[in-house]
Structures are given as structure tokens and as C-alpha cells.
A and B are shown apart, each in its own frame.
Chain A
Amino acid sequence: MHSREAFIGIIKENEGIIYKVARVYTNCREDEQDLYQEVVYQLWKCFGSFRNESKISTWMYRIALNTAISFLNKEKKKGGQVPIDDDLLNKPDTPDTLMQERSEALFARIKQLNEIEKGIVLLYLEGKTYDEIATITGFTTSNVGTRLGRIKQKLAVQIN
């Protein structure tokens, strides 16, 4: 299971997760690409310890969110990453400009939340149940519910 091919397969299958985490936790394209690569690297590093006890997506969210936290802390040291074609990680390139604008606005609103809220709302939008969010974040299920209520109110205020 823990082969390079299996890892590549999992990353390709779930690359959207990494993209969305990187997008939510950074404020510029350069940082976004750095975090994207950092998440891939951390997933590779932790892949050997994945025991199939949880769903692969749950494991990926945990690693990706934890990496995002530690990434916030690092000084900006550029120049050490793989040079990537600018378009490659700049998703989505949908012809629907209205949808693109709306998703830009949605990301912008989520970015204004604090770190805890960002993590919880991201998992909620990804369709995770309260129990799954609790497992990934470490908060109790009821606390997740309370926090989500507050987050929805905050986002509603932003929209209005």
C-alpha cells in the first residue's frame, strides 16, 4: 500500500483538497504555491504512518490543516520550491466567469475568519459531518455545532 505509486494516486485523486486548503490559508499566489507544495511534502513524509484507520480524505485534511498552521509560522524564505507553471495550480479556469467571481468572493470571506473558523468552515463546506469535523479538529461535536453557528452569522454579516 505504502508505495510511491499509491501515494501519487492518492494525491492525484484528492488534489482539490490541497488546492482548497492552500487557497484558504494564504493571501498571495506565491504563498499559495509554497503551501501547496509543503502539504504534498508533509503528506509524503507522513504517508508511511497512515494506517487505514480513517478515511484517506480525513487523514489528508488533518495533515493539510496542521501543515497550514505550521506554515503560518515560517519566515518567508523563497526560492526553494519546485518551479511550477503559474497556470498549473491556478485553478479553476472555468469559462463561467460569474461562478469564478462568486468563488473568489467566497474565498475572500473565508480568509477573513480566524484560523479555527477557517478550518471548521472548510470541512463543513467539504461536506463533512459534525462528527467528522470533530475528529479532524479535536473539538467536541457540540462545540463544532456552536462554532459553525457563529461562523454562519459572521459570514452572513459579511455578505450583507
Chain B
Amino acid sequence: MKTLWGEMSAELEKQKKLTDSLIIKMTQVNYKNKVAKIWAPEAIGSAVGFAYAGYILINMAALNTWYLMFCGIVSVLIMITMPTLSITSIFKIRHLNIAANNYKQSLLEYSNGKKRFVSVQKFKFYLGAILLLVVMPVMSELIGGKDIFKAPGVWYWYVIAFPFYYWFAKKWVPGCYNNILAGAENILKEIEA
């Protein structure tokens, strides 16, 4: 095996293919893309969340009952918490200290970061569900001027939606992340072996 690897490496040595300009291009294009690649989706999501939070905060006085006020405050808190959690967990997982870490440290940080990321994603899902529940009355009041708590039949929609949500939360969400989590835990176990 080692002999074959040596022969292949010797072949590679004969086939130097990189040119000066290609190396320079690789560093420059990558650098420009880096910022957009890492931050664009998170930045857009966060901006939308913060914008909505700001809109509700500015119009808080229009929420003239205690329950609408409560829904408004919970919505604002969730809209600020969700992107903050997202950005923090992604930042941690993506920013391994490549220059200073050894391989073991990087694997540890990567696997722990992944576990943290999965926990945050699950938590965000439940926060999102609560947000869906509380933001509707707020937006209905602010945009349409209607208090949906007083509208007849509105609660039926929540009752109809609940089983779907329950299935989603119990089956789909864990199913999405269990493999990632298992992968990370396997690496952590293997490091200790």
C-alpha cells in the first residue's frame, strides 16, 4: 500500500500543473466570496427578523389590549433571539482556528460545534412555532386593524394546524438532525478511543 502510494506521489511530482496566475486567482476569488458565502444568508434572515421586531416595537402603542401587548412582546423577543442564536452558532462552527489547532483540536471543536448547532436548530424550530402563534394576532391588528381573538372561528385554525405541527415536531425535526448528531458523537467517541 505504501509502495503504491509512493509511486503515485512520484507521478504527481512529475505532473506539476499549477501556474502562478492560477494560485493567485484561487486566493483572490476565494477571499472575495468568503464574506458573501458565510454571511449573506444569515445577514438577510437576521435583517428581516430585526426589521419585523423594529416594526412591532415602533407600533407597540397600537396593541391596545393586554393579550395583544403580550403577543407583541413575545414576538419581538423571539425575532431578536432567533437570528442571534443562529449567527452565534454558525460563527462558532465555521471559525475553527485552522492555523493554530492540531487535527484533534479541530475535530473536537468541529464535533462540539455541530452538536451545539443541532441543539440551536431544534430550539429555533420550537421558537418559530411559538412565533407563528403569537405573531398572527399582532400583525392582524397592526396591518388590518382586526383583533383576531374576537373573530369567530379563528381558534379552529389553530386546532386544525396542531396535529400537523405535532407530527412535524416529533418526527420530521429530529429525523433531520439525528444523523448529523450521531456523526458528531461518533467522532467524539472515536477521539477518546
Contact = CB atoms under 8 A, between A and B. Distances in A.
Given A70-B98, A114-B190, A136 B103 contact: yes
Nearest to B32: A80
The A interface, classified by DSSP as helix, strand, loop or mixed, is: helix
A29 to B, nearest CB: 15
A106 to B, nearest CB: 6
Given A46-B98, A99-B7, A114-B190, A70 B15 contact: no
Contacts of A16: 9, 12-13
Q: Could you say which interface size class chain B belongs to?
A: 35 or more
Contact of A137 (B11, B31, B33, B102): B102
Interface in A14-66: 15-16, 19-20, 37-38, 40-42, 44-46, 49, 62-63, 65-66
A77 B40 CA distance: 12
Q: Could you say which interface size class chain A belongs to?
A: 35 or more
Contacts of B13: 16
Interface in B9-62: 9, 11-13, 15-18, 20, 22-27, 29-31, 33-34, 36-37
Contacts of B26: 37, 40-41, 44, 81-82
Nearest to A92: B11
A37 B25 CA distance: 10
Contacts, number: 146
A1 interface: no
A119 B103 contact: yes
A103 interface: yes
A135 B12 CA distance: 26
B115 interface: no
Interface in A128-150: 135-139
Contacts of B102: 62, 135-138
Contacts of B16: 12, 15
A73 to B, nearest CB: 6
Interface stretch (B77-85, B105-113, B156-164): B105-113
11 contacts: A15-B12, A19-B12, A67-B98, A73-B93, A81-B33, A89-B17, A106-B5, A119-B103, A125-B5, A126-B5, A137-B103
Interface of A: 4, 7-8, 11-12, 15-16, 19-20, 37-38, 40-42, 44-46, 49, 62-63, 65-67, 69-70, 72-74, 77, 80-82, 84, 88-89, 91-94, 99, 102-103, 106, 114-116, 119, 124-127, 135-139, 155
